[in-house]
Structure 1
Amino acid sequence: MSAYICVVVLTVSALGGATVVSELLSRPTNVRLTSHNLNLVLRWDPPEGTASGLVYTAMYKSSVTDYRIGCENTSSLECDFTTLKISPYGNYTGRVRAQLGEESSNWAESNYVTLDTDTFIGSPTVSLSSNGATLEVSIQDPVFSISTLRNVYNGVTYNITYWKKGQNEKARSIPDIQQHRLVLSDLDPRTKYCVQVQINTDRNPNPSQHSSITCESTANEQEAPWVAAMVAFVIMAVVVALLVVAVVYWKSISQFLCPKDALPPHFEESLLARPNSNMYLNMQSPVEEICHPISIIAGDRTVEEGDPLEAAGSSFSQQPDVIVEER
């Protein structure tokens, strides 16, 4: 009996030593909800001691809705919620958990983001065009993932900074510009200037990213009208010369463009010669008609009273033979 008990104890001990008790998966770390140009993306880092084959499920919710699944069983370390009917004025948060087989970690929560006030506005696009000793600045707003900059923000202004190339420390700024176009007129001729633009809005406390630095050279203020006049004169001279050539050599040009095709002489002779066929000759000569006079003699007949149809029938039946004499 004691031996049996010892065997049972040893068996249980052996089984207990072979069993692996798996701990709960660690949660993802550094979970953050970000927005750039009104998109909404949840990002995270993998948990410590990440095993191969780990996947994630990410969810989001607004201040007026429950959690909704954005990504499920994804191996990526981010999930884009932008296409899931979000509002540019909504307040959102997200969460994510790790999964390995049938085991899951606890949810890791993110920060809250209010899109219109927290989104990072991208840089505008700037182009320059020179007109004499002035530069025209054209500004194009960044493209938003949902809606547009002007639709989301009522107050949009531009801060324009410009300087002579190589003299950044002497840069000048023009704040609170509302138009997309601006002419910089206090410039030196034949000088290269650089321009950079930043956007400010009424509700987002963070200004946009700076635009890329764009440079353009001004022209000589005195040369601009002269150059335009010279170009116009050259164009008019070329047009007049072409018209004169066309009038003087019109006949040669028309013959060259539309030549007259001439038939070979033997073709003309064969087409103009009189046909020798018998049919054509018979058609040209008059045809003699032969006629024979004839006389038609009918006998006397009477129509009896009665049915008109019967009378007509009887008249036809009683009609005498017609004698045709040929003279």
Structure 2
Amino acid sequence: MTLLGVLRVVVVLLCVSAGVCAALPVPQNVTLHALNMNYVLKWRWDPDMTPDSARNVTFTTQYMAMFKLKKPKNKQTWTSVCESTPERVCDFTSADLHYLGMWVLRVRAQSGRNVSSWVKTEFCPDRDAAIGPPSALSVTPVSGLLQVAMTDPLTTTNCSMKEYLPNMYYIIQYWKRSSSAEEPRNNLTTNTNLVILPDLESWTWYCVRVKSMDDYYRKASVFSPTYCAQTDGQTPHWQIVLYFLLSLVLCFLVFVALCLCIIRVVKIVKSTFFPSVPLPAHLHEYLCESGSPETPHLLSLESEPELCCDSPELLLPDPEVPDVPDVPVSKVILEIHMPPRTVEPGIRTHSRHSSCDSGVHSLEGSSQSQRQSELGEVKMEKLGKKMRTEELDEGVQDVIV
């Protein structure tokens, strides 16, 4: 085979491959939506234009710096961002395209070995990307006026867009809020981030919105959300007096409520721990007269009997009485005076039928009489010893205790 034959075969193969590669249509309406430094590439795809043999169509997007297009094709290096994706949108924000650079973006469709041609678009962020409104806006009243604080539009790394657009400025639009007709709107241009709106009425509501501007490529953002605030001013004297009276009334009501609460608590405590109603009779009897010795006695029915003793007196015999030799010399008369035992009215007496209670009281009575007799015997012994120390000639000696 000659060299000419080989070239013919190569040309035929290239033509066949080119026909296969051009089997899919290209994506339509390729556009780039850029705001600040957020870049999103979008396109349209009509499934009706897809051949029957092509199924599961996917898309691939790439980018490259524009100056590299001057190099030979075999030295051009394209970077893929979205590869074989079924979506019709690709976010180029993560590609970190420099804001002041010139870039070429391209996209194509593919299904198996069938691919479409590349659709290219040029992109310069500084020229094509729009700018957004302030990222934050606050309106506060200050001395009868309104202070507007703005935050610059931010990049994807939270940096200010003024680093790339140093001549960016703001247009502040403000007006008096009214429910009736449309109020005239005032515009204020500034390149600072803190502005005080002039010529405002006191105690009046105003609405404010701001947009960003750059004149180099005539960029203008949309307006920010509207914020409304009321201006302040000097407080009228009648309001001061009214606030003072209201505060006095409020303090008085709080004081009265506190006093009522304290009185109520005192009454509850007093009625709980110191009841005014006496105990019922059956409960009083149970506490006073317990049937078991283990039960504690809370109330005492009567006090312990007291033993009253007087100093003993020796009664000397009457000299007129004749001597009686048969009378013992050491005879002593001991008198013990016990306090009368009284029973309180209202306390019932024990009947014969209450065997348990009568037994307890008899036991208590016997113990009391036993103690009294023991005390009497002790007194007798002491008096007997004292009488033996003294010799009595005659007569009967009486000792009163």
Query: Scaled by the length of structure 2, what TM-score is found?
Result: 0.48
Other-structure match for 1:81: 92
- Answering whether residue 33 of structure 2 is matched by residue 34 of structure 1, we say yes
Q: Is the 8 A contact 1:153 1:201 kept in 2?
A: no
Q: Deviations over 1:276-312 (max 9, x none)?
A: xxxxxxxxxxxxxxxxxxxxxxxxxxxxxxxxxxxxx
Q: Is the 8 A contact 1:61 1:67 kept in 2?
A: yes
CA positional deviation for 1:54: 1.1
Other-structure match for 2:24: 25
Runs of at least 5 residues in structure 2 that lack an aligned partner in the other structure: 1-19, 69-76, 248-401
Label 1:184 to 1:230 Cα distance change in 2 as closer, same or farther (>3 A).
farther
Q: CA RMSD in A?
A: 4.8
Which of the residues 59, 80, 92 maps onto 1:69?
Answer: 80
Q: Any residues of structure 2 matched to 1:227-306 within 5 Å, and which? A: none
CA positional deviation for 1:48: 5.6
Secondary structure (helix, strand or coil) at the match of 1:109 reads: strand
Q: Is the 8 A contact 2:206 2:228 kept in 1?
A: yes
Larger Rg: 2
Other-structure match for 2:176: 164
- Answering whether residue 199 of structure 2 is matched by residue 176 of structure 1, we say no
Residue identity over aligned pairs, in percent, reads 27
Q: Is the 8 A contact 1:128 1:137 kept in 2?
A: yes
Q: Is the 8 A contact 2:134 2:151 kept in 1?
A: no
Deviates more, 1:70-79 or 1:145-154: 145-154
Label 1:78 to 1:169 Cα distance change in 2 as closer, same or farther (>3 A).
same
Equivalents in 1 of 2:45, 2:198: separation in Å? 55
Aligned length in residues: 254
CA positional deviation for 1:112: 2.4
Quick check: which one's strand share is greater?
Answer: 1
Other-structure match for 1:249: none
Secondary structure (helix, strand or coil) at the match of 1:110 reads: strand
Label 1:130 to 1:34 Cα distance change in 2 as closer, same or farther (>3 A).
same
Query: Scaled by the length of structure 1, what TM-score is found?
Result: 0.57
Equivalents in 2 of 1:22, 1:70: separation in Å? 22
- Answering whether residue 221 of structure 2 is matched by residue 208 of structure 1, we say yes
Other-structure match for 1:199: 212
Runs of at least 5 residues in structure 1 that lack an aligned partner in the other structure: 1-20, 236-327
Secondary structure (helix, strand or coil) at the match of 1:209 reads: coil
Q: Is the 8 A contact 1:26 1:48 kept in 2?
A: no
- Answering whether residue 70 of structure 2 is matched by residue 58 of structure 1, we say no
Which of the residues 235, 243, 255 maps onto 1:223?
Answer: 235
Equivalents in 2 of 1:135, 1:211: separation in Å? 17
CA positional deviation for 1:132: 4.8
Equivalents in 1 of 2:26, 2:102: separation in Å? 24
